[in-house]
Structure 1
Amino acid sequence: MAHLTFDDLYHISLTSLGSAADDWKEMVDQLETLATDARDGMVKQSEAARWAGVNADVTRPFVRKTGKEFSDAHAEAKAIWAMLRDAHKELAALQSALKEAVDVDAKNKQIQVTGLPDGTVQCVYLHRRDTNDEHTTAQLDYKDRLKHRINNLIAQADDIDNSASSALKKIHGNDSHDFGHAKYDSLDDAQSARAVQLARKSLAKYRDGGELSITELAELKRLFAQNSKDREFAVDFYKALGPKDALRFQAEIAFDAQNEGDKTQLKLAQSIQTSMGESLATATRPPTGKDDPNTAFREDRDYLGKAWQTDLKRVGRAPLTFQRNSARVEIRGYQVLGAILRHGSYDKSFLTPIAEDMVTFERKHPGAWPQPHNSYSRLGADGFGLNLDKDGGPGWDPMAGLLEGLSHSPGASTEFFHGSTGEGEHDGLKKISNLDYFLGDKDGKGAREWAYGAVGTKVSDTENFGKEALGHALESATSGRPYDSDAPAKNHTQEQADIFDSVVKRVAANPELFKGDGELAPIAGSLGNMSAEYMYDIQRVYAGGDESGYIRDTGAEPDLSKPEDKHTLDLFLKTTTADPDAYAAVTQAQELVTAETLRQAITHRGDNEDIGNLAEIAVTPGAMVEGNAAQGRADAIAAADDSAQKAQEYNDSLTAGDGWIGRFVDLGIGAIDNIPVAGDVAGWVIEDAREAVLDHRAADPDDAAKKIQENKDAYLTTERVKRAERAKQAFYDAATQAGIDAKNQSVKNAAQQVYNAAYSANAVEAS
């Protein structure tokens, strides 16, 4: 089969293709009229006629057949028009993208693009007399990315050309005297049919000990990559294969890709696995308005609804048997599904019921997830697994994949962790909240036991894939955003706040479980992100409420209003900040919230309000957070095998970036009322917070580690003085920016009041 080349796509005029599509649309309209006339005229009259003998036995069937041919001709013309219409639209978009890459991006960087005989391109920098033609690594990387981008556009165009051509042949059929062959409503239909054909071919070959060729895998990879977000393609693919064959196909290409040690095959299989997850998310997401029970729609066409999901549950619980290297491999469908769920953002109407069924099945069948012999926790020449990602483990424990799926699906994760399993009609299980199932009860006991990595070996501290995924899922559940999203923080719902409240209390109930070598220590980084997410609420708790209204309202609040809850928060923050990354997140959020609150207090003070009292109210809650974080860091450094290395990790985490400051800025710090002085309040807040965060670094990790080991309390007292001085300076900065004379004695007195308040509040570290 001839391939579309760079020159073909770049130079060809698509005008005639567009005109052909328009002409076929006219043909469709005319044939629709003829078909209607034949059906309502000739056929109807023939059926109504009182014929007997030859007329009844010969003429009437002939008329019926002729009428059907008109209808079939209309259907065939409509399918041809759909192919030409969609091919023109998609090829035109790809040609436009290609010309932008060549005529704009390549030209601006002085890169020459040349088509090669195999259809791909070569990219080289043009010679310049004023240089020696040497290029930086960044320039060479850009050239390679541009080449890949252009080749990908050509490959997509080639797939569209082949899909349209193949579909047109099937539409026309082999009998030129008969209409009514294959029918497609769109090019997506044709591409989905091709993907199904390749998947079924793969299943058939696997039964005979074979597999798809690299060329066929590459085609399948491109079909998925182009259409994984397309509802029509995704629904058609999964509906045609059904849950069992879809899971079998996924497992088989994963196993095959690890048999030969072929990196190209493994890379293609990995891409297909990713796209199958994204396609499943697309196919199971109800169309807008379609989840309304009063809205009429075709569930089997618009999305994979309850019937398909019910079948998936049945297949998920059932065993699936494979042959690998002459050995029998028996696993369960949910184990394969776990690898797929890692990818895509799923609607809660699909993912929550699946998650609850997986937990219910696991509770009823301990050890439900078999792990084949000779499989390893890391994929390698001799090991194999279901998950083809570089991270995330081999995938034999489907809960890791499920939780990773929840981490990208905030609606589902919130609903899941706010729900429970047990006390169903037939399950015979005690009702347990899903949060308790994974984290343990209010005393921190009874948490789920995680599977081993390789047969007979314990998962190392750096390979706690499932536990890390649990942390990611909780981030999603409490924030309303995918855990790895750069989207701004937003107001919390009551369900999200309730989950955070429960997490805080479970961590405080059993701190050792979440730090050091504790079973759930791998989620500590996520606990830090959740703490940052709820920093306004945390500071409001330490403030004993916020009658002044200076602490921003971020929606529903966790239920931490009881007097003893401050101690609970102390324990939670000390435990959380024993992790360097968590410490960085807490510190960033605390500094920014405190800086914002301080400026709110000063710029919105009443005429008769004492500036010192207001500033004290503003800085005290943040100082209490800061004191707990300092204690958590010092404890972790003191307990580390290499204290200096641990101190350096804290330094590194603080200098790695200021992601949380950026999130809070996007939340709307700029909405703080401007005051009539030069500059922007939001800018002051951000820069002061950034400077303060960097001040949290230990000046010398070796020196800090030595002092902590010798006398931790003395070290913390010294740090406490530094933090109080920083609070005092922050007050002076805010006052100056608000147009207040910092040399005024009453302002100096207020600054000292702030120092004393911050020093005193930091004393929580000694509790």
Structure 2
Amino acid sequence: MSTYSDLRQETFKGIDTLATAFESLTRDWKLSSDFTGDILTPLQGSNWRGDAAERAAASITKTRNELDAAFEEASAIGKTLRDAHTELAAARADLDAALKRAVDNSLTVDADGVNISWPAPTSESDKHDPTYTTTYKALAESVGQDIAKAVARAKAADTAAAAALGGATGKSKTAFQPSTGPEEQGKKAADLLKLAGNLSDAQLDELNKTLKANANNPQFTTAFYQGLGPDGFLKYYGQLAVASADQGGRRPQAVADLQANLGMALATATDSHNFPHLSDEWEAGLRRAGATRTEILPRGDRVSGSVQPYGYQILANILRTGTYDAHFLNPVAEHVTQLSEMPGFFTSTPWLHSDLDRMKLLGYAQGPQAGGFNPMNGVLDALAHNPPAATQFFHDRATSYNLDGSVKAIGQDNTYLKALTVGGDRSPLQDISKGNDYLASGHAESPELIALGHALEAATTGRAPDASPDTPLSPHTPEQAAVMKDVVDRFGSGDGPKLLRKGADLADLAPSLGHLTAAYMGDVQGAMSPHDHSLTTYGSKADLDPGNTAKLLAALGRNPDAFGAVAQAQQAYTTARIQDVMLHRDTYGAEFDQAVRNAAHSGGEVGGILTAGRTAGLVDEMKGEADAYNKAVDQNGMWGKAVWAMTGGRLLGDLPGIGKGMSLPANYFIDQLTSGYHVDPNTADPATAADVAGFNGLGSAAKKAVENVAQGTGLNPQQIEVLSTAAADAARDGATGGAGLVTRAVNG
């Protein structure tokens, strides 16, 4: 089952028939019992003695063992065939759904299932609709991804079935194969973890080695977690970690390795695209265990008032490792979020110092006494590392859960962004605070806010925050763009902007909001220049509200990290727009000069708002933060280069007649443009210096963009000077308008 064509044509009836035959064979199996009752038992009850009797008994026992092995082999084959049929049929259903979606939207899929085309526009409105192609392209890419996933699911099932059949039958041609495959190894590994605190160093090393070697094997991992049960897995690991807390040597690192290995194995076992995988019932049991106290602290040696942790507090750090399927991760994330909205659910326990010292499996990486008892931190971290799940979490209709994790209602309004960004003592991102009693801190904690920011970055950009800086941004999907709009509306209105100010409840969110604003610079400039329909977006449009966008930009201008990312992206996008106009001079004709001014003006407006926000922040602080802003501009260069790559940079080499100025390395080129944002820390009035530097930087960047791309276009030096000066003036005019908006309304 290796190709799209195979999956498209096959019905899998043959596998179903064969699986049924083996199931019938094992269900009616009587050979072993008949042999034991008719031969072995009478023989053992007889008085036959001597060498011949012993040889006969050995031969008969061997025969019975062969019959038992035959039963195991037949059972394994039957199970493998049944599981393969179930998974392959599901893959075919996924493919059929994708193809129906293509037909419903007038898309055409080629014979290989790779190339997907859409109809050419016929009506005048479609011909002049700038979103016609991008909308169909995004739809075609989505359908293509669904087709690829269906084929990959079939391939995985095929490969897994082949491996399982090989393990079940073995290589011997003269004897049956008793069960010694991945499932049996998974069960043995589960038996090791059940030893919990009694696990020796050697056994812990063996368990880690086995888990690491089989972390990507769904047969092993599924059998492992089935053998433990959802509540047992949390209990045994917790007891092992507590018992190991005071041990030295290699033990602490071995337990840390076990936590990571458990996460990798859990991700594989719960991936609904794997074959086999844990059932929905098992996952429901994990949610039930997550909301239940788990007995990991030894009885009889604890001071009164100490209690056991919740299962989710144990699970949270395990979720930090592994690539999880949204089918598993999101119900857990939703349930934990809903529990965290209940005041003090995870943070009202008066933990004792002695308990904290032993529960090193809980809390942040630097240790439990630094906090981390709210599992929201680990859950948000897991979402950040799994962008598709993060997008679904913040976008899709929500499921409401009962206290025990069972489903209460489906299709509910998604209010998770609103719930997680509440300020004050109602925040579900609170954690324990240090003191005689470790109780809720009364406000959102920095690590939780950073984790939330990372999850929002993943949800809106499709890229994990810790991905390599060279990882390209993918075109925004409609779902990602919708989450971005929600974020801008939340932090560009109401109490949102004030919550992001330095020292405010959600200030630690600002850097991440700067990153995702940078990633949506086309939408941001489009919101600030709604009448300029030439501004392009990267994928689906976010339809940002102009007023909310302006307020968010001004708020981000107050934060050095956020300012650096947005400034880099704004310069890159504006430069790309100017480049695009310059390279298509003939298209604009007599309106060429105005087109250059328009491109510079829209970027200037964004830069003006951003700069005004920075100035307001410096004025509020009444002290120089120039070094922080300069450093942030330099460190966030990746956002300028990423935006450049998805806008102007893609044109390089595609068109003739580009001057040598545009062949400069992108790193140098972007750094050159954004250095204009630097503030001289020795200036007596840093607020004024920041304001002047921002405006001058915007103008000089626009001028430099025209000068670089104009080389080799046939324009003489005088024309280049006039045109570049006009672009600089337009950028400064836009900046003046944007700054005025901040003065009049945003911060008014």
**TM-score normalized with structure 2 length:** 0.69
Distance of 2:71 and 2:31 partners within structure 1: 23
- Secondary structure at 2:472 match in 1: coil
Structure 1 counterpart of 2:310: 332
Structure 2 counterpart of 1:689: 670
Quickly say closer, same or farther: Cα 1:684–1:597, change in 2 above 3 A: farther
- Confirm or deny: 8 A CA contact 2:561 2:629 kept in the other structure: yes
RMSD: 4.2
- Confirm or deny: 8 A CA contact 1:631 1:765 kept in the other structure: yes
From 257, 263, 269, the equivalent of 1:271 is: 257
Structure 2 counterpart of 1:502: 486
Structure 2 counterpart of 1:323: 297
1:526 to partner: Cα distance: 0.6
Structure 1 counterpart of 2:92: none
Alignment of 1:301-312 (within 5 A): 302-312=276-286
Quickly say closer, same or farther: Cα 1:517–1:388, change in 2 above 3 A: closer
Structure 2 counterpart of 1:389: 365
- Secondary structure at 2:508 match in 1: helix
- Confirm or deny: 8 A CA contact 1:270 1:388 kept in the other structure: no
1:742 to partner: Cα distance: 4.3
Distance of 1:78 and 1:47 partners within structure 2: 16
Distance of 1:596 and 1:233 partners within structure 2: 51
Distance of 1:692 and 1:491 partners within structure 2: 25
From 217, 225, 238, the equivalent of 1:238 is: 225
- Secondary structure at 1:695 match in 2: helix
Distance of 1:56 and 1:739 partners within structure 2: 97
The residue type paired with residue 755 of structure 1 is A
Structure 2 counterpart of 1:671: 650
From 517, 531, 536, the equivalent of 1:531 is: 517
Distance of 1:696 and 1:423 partners within structure 2: 49
Structure 1 counterpart of 2:179: 183
Alignment of 1:430-449 (within 5 A): 433-440=415-422, 448=428
- Secondary structure at 1:621 match in 2: helix
Distance of 1:71 and 1:651 partners within structure 2: 77
1:668 to partner: Cα distance: 6.9
**Which structure 1 residue ranges, 5 or more long, are not aligned?**
1-35, 80-167, 172-178, 289-300
Structure 1 counterpart of 2:735: 762
- Secondary structure at 1:321 match in 2: coil
Distance of 1:55 and 1:219 partners within structure 2: 42
1:318 to partner: Cα distance: 1.4
1:283 to partner: Cα distance: 1.1
- Confirm or deny: 8 A CA contact 2:430 2:443 kept in the other structure: no
Alignment of 1:334-733 (within 5 A): 334-363=312-341, 366-371=344-349, 373-375=351-353, 384=360, 386-387=362-363, 389-390=365-366, 394-418=371-395, 419-420=397-398, 422=400, 426=408, 433-440=415-422, 448=428, 450-454=430-434, 455-456=437-438, 464-486=446-468, 487-509=471-493, 510=495, 511-544=497-530, 546-548=532-534, 551-560=535-544, 565-606=545-586, 608-640=589-621, 643-644=623-624, 646-656=625-635, 658-664=637-643, 667=646, 669-672=648-651, 673-677=654-658, 679=660, 683=664, 687-699=668-680, 701-703=681-683, 706-708=684-686, 712=687, 716-717=691-692, 719-733=694-708
Distance of 1:343 and 1:761 partners within structure 2: 46
- Secondary structure at 2:324 match in 1: coil
- Secondary structure at 2:297 match in 1: strand
- Confirm or deny: 8 A CA contact 2:608 2:695 kept in the other structure: yes
Quickly say closer, same or farther: Cα 1:498–1:57, change in 2 above 3 A: closer
- Secondary structure at 1:739 match in 2: coil
The residue type paired with residue 265 of structure 1 is R
Distance of 1:383 and 1:47 partners within structure 2: 51
- Confirm or deny: 8 A CA contact 1:735 1:742 kept in the other structure: no
Please identify, of 581-590 and 221-230, the stretch whose mean Cα deviation from structure 2 is larger.
221-230
Quickly say closer, same or farther: Cα 1:685–1:395, change in 2 above 3 A: closer
- Secondary structure at 1:489 match in 2: coil
The residue type paired with residue 269 of structure 1 is V
**1:402-456: CA deviation from partner (whole Å, max 9, x where unpaired):** 1111111111111111144559885799966111111249xx9965352233345
- Confirm or deny: 8 A CA contact 1:232 1:302 kept in the other structure: yes
Is 1:228 aligned with 2:215? yes
1:492 to partner: Cα distance: 1.1
- Confirm or deny: 8 A CA contact 1:270 1:389 kept in the other structure: no
Distance of 1:45 and 1:229 partners within structure 2: 37
1:475 to partner: Cα distance: 0.8
- Confirm or deny: 8 A CA contact 1:364 1:427 kept in the other structure: no
The residue type paired with residue 259 of structure 1 is D
Quickly say closer, same or farther: Cα 1:317–1:182, change in 2 above 3 A: farther
- Confirm or deny: 8 A CA contact 1:543 1:621 kept in the other structure: yes
Distance of 2:610 and 2:180 partners within structure 1: 62
- Confirm or deny: 8 A CA contact 1:515 1:575 kept in the other structure: yes
Structure 2 counterpart of 1:106: none
The residue type paired with residue 320 of structure 2 is R
The residue type paired with residue 283 of structure 1 is A
**TM-score normalized with structure 1 length:** 0.68
- Confirm or deny: 8 A CA contact 1:594 1:622 kept in the other structure: yes
- Confirm or deny: 8 A CA contact 1:616 1:754 kept in the other structure: yes
1:360 to partner: Cα distance: 3.0
- Secondary structure at 2:296 match in 1: strand
**1:93-145: CA deviation from partner (whole Å, max 9, x where unpaired):** xxxxxxxxxxxxxxxxxxxxxxxxxxxxxxxxxxxxxxxxxxxxxxxxxxxxx
- Confirm or deny: 8 A CA contact 2:319 2:378 kept in the other structure: yes
Quickly say closer, same or farther: Cα 1:470–1:670, change in 2 above 3 A: same
From 143, 168, 186, the equivalent of 1:192 is: 186
1:652 to partner: Cα distance: 1.8
- Confirm or deny: 8 A CA contact 1:688 1:730 kept in the other structure: no
1:284 to partner: Cα distance: 0.8
- Confirm or deny: 8 A CA contact 2:242 2:296 kept in the other structure: no
- Confirm or deny: 8 A CA contact 2:431 2:445 kept in the other structure: no
- Confirm or deny: 8 A CA contact 1:371 1:396 kept in the other structure: no
Quickly say closer, same or farther: Cα 1:729–1:371, change in 2 above 3 A: same
- Confirm or deny: 8 A CA contact 2:69 2:178 kept in the other structure: no
**1:699-751: CA deviation from partner (whole Å, max 9, x where unpaired):** 3x242xx313xxx4575246423431332232222212x52334134x43322
1:303 to partner: Cα distance: 0.6
Distance of 2:409 and 2:73 partners within structure 1: 54
**1:17-42: CA deviation from partner (whole Å, max 9, x where unpaired):** xxxxxxxxxxxxxxxxxxx9xx99xx
1:593 to partner: Cα distance: 1.2
Quickly say closer, same or farther: Cα 1:385–1:720, change in 2 above 3 A: same
Quickly say closer, same or farther: Cα 1:722–1:241, change in 2 above 3 A: closer
1:598 to partner: Cα distance: 1.0
Q: How many residues align?
A: 585
Distance of 2:71 and 2:186 partners within structure 1: 19
**1:498-556: CA deviation from partner (whole Å, max 9, x where unpaired):** 111111121122211112111111111110111111112112222325433xx443111
Structure 2 counterpart of 1:313: 287
- Confirm or deny: 8 A CA contact 1:613 1:750 kept in the other structure: no
Distance of 1:369 and 1:213 partners within structure 2: 33
The residue type paired with residue 439 of structure 1 is T
Distance of 2:73 and 2:415 partners within structure 1: 57
Please identify, of 755-764 and 430-439, the stretch whose mean Cα deviation from structure 2 is larger.
430-439
- Confirm or deny: 8 A CA contact 1:596 1:685 kept in the other structure: no
